[in-house]
């Protein structure tokens, strides 16, 4: 029996090779893998010895040879194939362990020259893996070091079952497909390609999906360039395993709190991906208290995200409420000990923000029956140079602060979206209604008396004046919205009649 070992990631290599040698296998290897085996005292033949041809073109060509690919592709159940091997003096290859150059890791650094990135595009490796995976009935193909020990154990126990071989082949094809997807992502320019592949690597299995009858897993997106770091990169300090819904809500909470304007401490509370509380204040405890006051009933069982390391004082306030997850860039020892006593509460510490350069523009991917919808993610920061005060009365300084705050929040609320803010705190949310007037009413009902003196943000224009009139009747004094409706003149008349300040941003933020 003969194995070909050609890996970039050397994890588990020596143990695999030693196990095969103990079983009487012959090992063939290449380049750095061969050197690693030799240094460990493991006998192996060089690929050049098998092919009778040296590695050329700085190693670009070494395994692309009939002596290698015939050994991988020959069917063991076809006498003609075996006779051809014998005629040409080619031995079959029964196991291939291969993984690829670190292209994604290379291009994650924006300073890497294009020529250097191109050299990290593996050619021979994917070709061998494809050949072995195609012929998996006769060739074991290993692309994940985690499979080395189990497969060795199965070989010792008498052989690897056909179903297991097929699973390994599927894993191999997925491995090279993900690799190629990142390469394509790196090479393509702007716009949407005629064909698209999306790559991901499993981060963890989940207990279940949105409901217990749905299986689920979480994957990290593999993209070319510096990927934005998110919830899956957080370090969990305490609490139960994260669920599908926990991850969705935690991602939503972190997105909102990260977008809130200013350098002061900020807190956001999310329930079912909807912000039900958010605030910016001079201290973290006061920011949490203000966020909780936004909707303390909805906050129960929600997710809390904070922009500053969690201290003991704020942790004491959080401990009085049932929350599922707390997310922060850090935790003091006292805060961790205090909240760690709540066995069901997950504590997530977010990683430091990457500073090597901005991430490449990401795609927002939505599944539909039989297909996918792709769009650029709505992550463009607000550009106040495009904002226009369209009312006779301009906003006051306090109203401007609330308008900026509300505009930062409303883009994270499902359409039709209305938010009310006062003193840089979220006091009312209207979400997901089929008409904008319904969302205004919901937001005003949630806010109650706190709507008086509040600023309102709308993710899209008001198609009729009734929404503005309803907001004014509730006590709203300033509105920020994209504008652009054919009835803008009617809306402005209603705003002026109520003494409202109004700002047009010229940018819509639907979130379906």
Strand ranges in 189-296 using DSSP code E only, listed in sequence order:
199-206, 216-222, 235-238, 266-271, 274-280
**Distance of alpha carbon 130 from alpha carbon 416, whole angstroms:** 48
Our measurement of the distance from residue 339's CA atom to the centroid of its chain's CA atoms, rounded to an integer in Å, reads: 27
Cβ-contact 260, 253 below 8 angstroms: no
The b/e string for 384-417 (b: 16+ C-beta within 10 A; e otherwise) is: eeebeebbeeebeeebbbbbbbbbbbbbbbbbbb
Phi/psi region, residue 39 (left: phi>0; alpha: psi -120 to 50; beta: rest), is alpha
**Distance of alpha carbon 91 from alpha carbon 332, whole angstroms:** 62
Q: Can you give the three-state secondary structure of 380-442, one letter per residue?
A: CCCCHHHCEECCCCCCCHHHHHHHHHHHHHHCCCCCCCEEEECCCEEEEEECCCCCHHHHHHH
Cβ-contact 283, 309 below 8 angstroms: no
Question: From the CB of residue 160, how many other CB atoms can be counted at a distance below 10 Å?
Answer: 18
Quickly tell me which residue has 């190693």 as its tokens: 59
DSSP codes joined into one string, 16-36: HHHHHHHTT-EEEE-HHHHHH
Q: Are strands 235-238 and 346-349 parallel, antiparallel or unpaired?
A: antiparallel
Cβ-contact 228, 112 below 8 angstroms: no
Q: Are strands 266-271 and 274-280 parallel, antiparallel or unpaired?
A: antiparallel
Answer yes or no: 271 catalytic.
Answer: no
- The residue annotated as part of the active site, out of 81, 171, 240, 272, is 272
Answer yes or no: 134 catalytic.
Answer: yes
**Distance of alpha carbon 56 from alpha carbon 33, whole angstroms:** 17
Measuring CA to CA, which residue among 69, 53, 82 is closest to residue 6?
A: 69
Instruction: Tell me if residue 343 falls in helix, strand or coil.
Output: coil
Measuring CA to CA, which residue among 216, 218, 174 is closest to residue 199?
A: 174
Q: Can you give the three-state secondary structure of 193-215, one letter per residue?
A: CCCCCCEEEEEEEECCCCCCCCC
> Per the omega criterion (within 30 degrees of 0), is the bond before 416 cis?
yes
Tokens representing 14 are: 């020596």
- The residue annotated as part of the active site, out of 10, 81, 134, 414, is 134
Q: Alpha helices, DSSP H only, in 269-308? A: 284-294, 296-299
Q: List residues with catalytic annotation.
A: 134, 272
């Amino acid at each position: 029996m003969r194995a070909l070992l050609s890996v970039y990631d050397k994890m588990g290599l020596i143990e695999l090779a030693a196990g095969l040698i103990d079983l009487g296998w012959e090992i063939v290897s290449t380049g750095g893998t061969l050197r690693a085996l030799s240094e460990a005292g493991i006998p192996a033949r060089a690929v050049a010895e098998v092919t009778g041809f040296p590695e050329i073109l700085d190693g670009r060509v070494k395994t692309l040879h009939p002596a290698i690919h015939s050994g991988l592709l020959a069917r063991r159940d076809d006498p003609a194939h075996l006779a051809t091997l014998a005629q040409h003096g080619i031995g079959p290859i029964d196991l291939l362990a291969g993984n690829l150059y670190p292209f994604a890791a290379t291009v994650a650094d924006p300073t890497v020259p294009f020529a250097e990135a191109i050299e990290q595009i593996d050619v021979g490796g994917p070709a061998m893996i494809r050949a072995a995976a195609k012929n998996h009935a006769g060739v074991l193909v290993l692309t994940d070091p985690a499979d080395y020990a189990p497969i060795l154990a199965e070989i010792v126990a008498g052989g690897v079952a056909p179903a297991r071989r097929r699973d390994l082949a599927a894993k191999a094809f997925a491995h090279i497909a993900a690799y190629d997807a990142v390469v394509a992502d790196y090479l393509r320019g702007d716009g949407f390609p005629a064909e698209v592949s999306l790559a991901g690597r499993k981060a963890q299995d989940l207990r279940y999906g949105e409901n217990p009858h749905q299986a689920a897993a979480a994957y990290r997106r593999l993209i070319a360039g510096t990927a934005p770091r998110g919830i899956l990169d957080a370090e969990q300090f305490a609490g139960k395993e994260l669920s599908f819904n926990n991850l969705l809500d935690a991602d939503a909470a972190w997105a909102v709190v990260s977008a809130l304007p200013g350098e002061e401490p900020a807190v956001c509370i999310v329930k079912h991906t909807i912000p039900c509380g958010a605030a910016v204040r001079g201290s973290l405890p006061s920011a949490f208290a203000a966020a909780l006051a936004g909707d303390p009933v909805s906050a129960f069982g929600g997710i809390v995200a904070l922009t500053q390391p969690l201290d003991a004082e704020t942790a004491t306030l959080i401990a009085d409420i049932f929350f599922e997850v707390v997310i922060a860039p850090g935790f003091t020892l006292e805060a961790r000990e205090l909240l760690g006593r709540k066995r069901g509460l997950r504590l997530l510490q977010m990683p430091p923000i990457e500073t090597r350069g901005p991430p490449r523009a990401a795609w927002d991917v939505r599944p539909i029956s039989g297909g996918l919808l792709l769009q650029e993610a709505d992550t463009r920061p607000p550009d106040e140079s495009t904002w226009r005060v369209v009312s006779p009365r301009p906003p006051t300084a306090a109203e401007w602060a609330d308008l900026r705050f509300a505009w930062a929040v409303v883009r994270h609320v499902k359409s039709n979206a209305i938010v009310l803010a006062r003193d840089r705190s979220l006091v009312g949310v209207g979400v997901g209604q089929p008409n904008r007037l319904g969302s205004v009413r919901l937001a005003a009902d949630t806010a109650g008396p706190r709507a008086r003196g509040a600023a309102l943000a709308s993710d899209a224009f008001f198609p009729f004046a009734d929404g503005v009139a309803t907001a004014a009747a509730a006590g709203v004094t300033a509105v920020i919205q994209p504008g652009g409706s054919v009835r803008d003149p009617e809306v402005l008349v209603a705003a002026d009649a109520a003494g409202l300040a109004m700002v047009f941003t010229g940018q819509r933020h639907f979130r379906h």
